[in-house]
A = this chain, B = another copy of it.
Amino acid sequence: MIATVSGEQFVYRPIGIIRTENTIPDKTPIQPVYAADREGRAEIFSEVVEGLRDIEKFSHLYLIYHFHRAGEPRLIVQPFLEDVEHGIFATRAPVRPNAIGFSVVELIRREGATLYFRGADILDGTPLLDIKPYIARFDHIALSRNGWQDGVDEQTAKRKGGRKE
């Protein structure tokens, strides 16, 4: 872990575990948009399952998780979609100072403590830290400048992002 001047630290514990068919990092899609056909499920621990009430009425959820198989943090990385180096905070790469990831997935259905979803770009066994509903009035940014990502054409992104080549 990269040390920081602040001595503060925060301890989080999993609220559940994510199950997918993705067991090999190099074969795992890099984003839900490239994993539309991959289903997965989040198994929520019984101690917090009450917190799911009404979640089935949302079509999309942010799953926030710990990148449990990320390597050592790096500050400069070459992202998967481009052959140019960028700062880690200008990318979604997992080797971050704090290995927090999120995916916006499509909720298919809830069965008790289990959420079935589409858009599984997450490795099997990933510890889940939080779930937040996707809410269009908060999260839908109509116009954005997307840095180096604007230079990656859609076809290349789709081909590489799904890791099917």
Given the known A-B contacts A3-B47, A76-B50, A146-B136, are A87 and B55 also in contact in the complex, defined by CB atoms under 8 Å? yes
Interface size on A, residues (CB 8 A): 74
Contact with B along A32-66 (1 / 0, CB 8 A): 11000000000001111011111101111000101
Q: Counting CB contacts under 8 A, is A131 at the interface?
A: yes
A129 to B33, CA, bound (A): 25
A27 to B21, CA, bound (A): 45
Smallest Cβ-Cβ distance to A92: which chain B residue: B132
Q: How near does chain B come to A105, taking the closest CB pair, in angstroms?
A: 10
Determine if B148 and A54 form an interchain contact, defined as CB atoms under 8 angstroms apart: yes
Given the known A-B contacts A5-B45, A100-B129, A140-B140, are A87 and B50 also in contact in the complex, defined by CB atoms under 8 Å? yes
A70 to B53, CA, bound (A): 21
Q: Counting CB contacts under 8 A, is A8 at the interface?
A: yes
Using Cβ atoms and an 8 Å threshold, which residues of chain B touch A91?
133
Instruction: List 25 A–B pairs whose Cβ atoms lie within 8 Å, in order of A's numbering.
Output: A3-B47, A4-B13, A4-B45, A4-B47, A4-B48, A6-B14, A6-B17, A10-B11, A10-B127, A12-B12, A32-B138, A33-B137, A51-B88, A51-B97, A53-B86, A54-B86, A57-B148, A59-B144, A60-B145, A90-B133, A92-B138, A97-B130, A135-B149, A137-B146, A137-B157
